[in-house]
Amino acid sequence: MGMVALTPPWHSPESVRAMPDDGNRYECVAGELLVTPAPRSAHQELVTELLLALRAVRDIPGMRILTSPSDIELRHDALVQPDLFVHRREPGKPIERWADIRRLELAIEVLSPSTARYDRVVKRRFYQDVGVPEYWIVDADARVIERWHPTDDRPEICAGFIAWLPAGANAAIEIDLPALFAAALDS
């Protein structure tokens, strides 16, 4: 029996950066190309409400919160664009390019019909593998947030509120989820 030749991943961060500017979002994880269309307005409303709810992150020294589009390369074979993410800047090291971000403190994806498999399976495993301390999957239909940690086999399902205590914070950031979903989806 002959040996099977191992081939490099089909897609790399470099090949993703070369994709056309056609309105789609291109990402790759372990060689798998993830292509999603531009998000709908309800998706963006949720991203905005989450950004506002988490703005206290900026009061923690070095912490920054950003939204996509972005090109986050936490591993040589992956380039992701979380909908919202928190990273910690190293003192004296400004972020001049996406490649300067080497670790995330929190990654958030808002589910869309076209992203559910990627967000719940591919990206969830990726964020767990690279050690992102918290990964939130926001499910607008169920009005819950699935919270994942690196070693979790199952998510914590948060429906009433979610509290996040990032390293260096004096107090947890608490988000009233019914109010968040109402502000984003019911107006």
Confidence category of residue 141, pLDDT binned at 50, 70, 90: very high
Alpha-carbon distance of 109 to 90, in angstroms, equals 25
Q: Is 145 exposed, middle or buried (0-12, 13-18, 19+ CB in 10 A)?
A: buried
Helices 41-53/177-185 angle, 10° precision: 140
DSSP bridge partners of 147 = 136, 156
Mean pLDDT of the 123-139 span: 96
User: What's the whole-model pTM score?
Assistant: 0.86
Q: pLDDT (tens digit, 9 = 90+) per residue, 13-46?
A: 888 888 888 888 888 888 888 888 878 889 999 9
Residue 104 pLDDT exceeds 60: yes
Assigned CATH for 13-185: 3.90.1570.10
With a CB cutoff of 8 Å and minimum separation 6, the contacts of 186 are none
Supply the DSSP symbol for 90.
P
Give the residue, 85 or 61, on which the prediction is more confident: 85
Residue ranges of alpha helices (H) inside the chain are: 13-17, 41-53, 116-117, 123-129, 177-185
187: pLDDT confidence band, cut at 50, 70 and 90?
A: confident
pLDDT at residue 115, as a whole number: 84
Euclidean distance between CA atoms 113 and 19, whole angstroms:
22
Q: Where are the domains of the chain?
A: 13-185
Residue 5 has pLDDT above 50, yes or no: no
Amino acid at the residue 72? I
Quick one: what percent of the chain has pLDDT higher than 90? 56
